[in-house]
Amino acid sequence: MFGIKSRIRKCKDIINFKLKNKGVVVGKNIILRNPQYISCGKNVVIGDESKLLCWDSYGEEQYSNLPEIQIGDNFHATRNFTIQCAQKVVIGRDVLVASNVFIIDYNHGLNPLTKSYLENPLIRGRVLVDDGVWIGNNVIVLPNVHIGKKSIIGAGSVVTKDIPEYCIAVGNPAKVIKKFDIKEKKWKLVL
């Protein structure tokens, strides 16, 4: 019986999400948690197997400031895109996200004296992705990161700190390797 109720709730969540966010296209097997905290602009595509998960509590702690995911106009995520949000994730306009991208705005506490790290309160932060960003396959974006306008995050990168605008960043942790020179209209290596 639980399986049927769960599937009905999931279908209702997706229908309500699409009604609230008119024009959003969602792929197969999308999972939403607390979709009332998610807002999307126009012409948004969220691919198959994606998960948008908002946590308004953790354990016994109920958050006074509620989580928020904002996705701007002309956003496109191909497949298996995951956002885990306990505070705030803001994605600008014209952002392109490749497959298997994971964005999270929180971390478990670091107190090793608890029985399990699950017993630590969440350390909540934020993630900001500016307009025109392109995030490659298999990228992980960790809490308290700001990715600047028109930057590119290379496939397989782990973003642990801010990336300036008009940059290409790659690696684990992601480091800027090129910056776009607007006057010369070309990418230049960063030494």
Can 108 be counted among the known catalytic residues?
A: yes
- For 109, the token pair is 């506490």
* Spatial CB neighbours of 37, under 8 Å, sequence gap ≥ 6: 54, 56, 66, 67, 68, 69, 85
Q: Which of 18, 76, 108, 146 is catalytic?
A: 108
Which two structure tokens, joined as six digits, stand for 119?
């017993």
Three-state DSSP at 121 gives coil
* Separation of CA 172 from chain center: 18
Question: 85 with 55: CB under 8 angstroms?
Answer: yes
Distance CA 62, CA 158 (A): 30
87: left (phi over 0), alpha (psi -120 to 50) or beta: alpha
Q: Identity (one letter) of the amino acid at 166?
A: Y
Q: Which two tokens stand for residue 91?
A: 């994605």
Q: How many CA atoms lie within 13 A of 99 on its CB side?
A: 4
> Which positions are catalytic?
108
